[in-house]
Amino acid sequence: MRIQHYFLLACLLLLAACSRNTGGQDLADVNVDLMINPDPPAMGVSVVTIILEDLSNVPIEGATVELEGNMNHAGMAPVFSEASETAPGRYEADLDFTMGGDWFMIVRAQLSDGRTLERQIDIGSVRSS
């Protein structure tokens, strides 16, 4: 193969990876729990903890977890954060709730078995003070 062919192949693989990420599936065999400190959530930087388990409550280790915080009303920029695994199946991220009001979280996880999870979780009201 000539060098151009490798380049084309790399581009195609990248495209495939990107479209998988945006089109992640809500995997039925994965439990996703979300906790926020402080609780109830308040405006400002908070610690968001995601627990990933299988249906037998076995922790799902080695995932890459990303969070996207959104508000229910239009015109707000989403807030992103990357979580790190602090214990088996436990992923923590700092996330800045930039405004009081109703929020929801989109949890994206790349599992070690190669599958991609995407799940939306309602947070409800974030206090403004």
Nearer to Cu ion, 23 or 75 (CB): 75
- Give dist(CA 98, CA 36) in Å, integer: 15
Q: How far is the CB of 53 from Cu ion (least distance, A)?
A: 31
Which of 21-29, 44-52, 94-102, 116-124 is the region at the interface with Cu ion (rule: CB under 5 A)?
Answer: 94-102
DSSP per residue over 62-98, as a string? S-EEEEEEEESSTT---EEEE-EEEETTEEEEEEEE-
Is the Cα dihedral 19, 21, 25, 26 positive or negative?
A: negative
Nearer to Cu ion, 27 or 76 (CB): 76
Among 27, 51, 76, 106, binds Cu ion (CB under 5 A): 76
Nearer to Cu ion, 91 or 97 (CB): 97
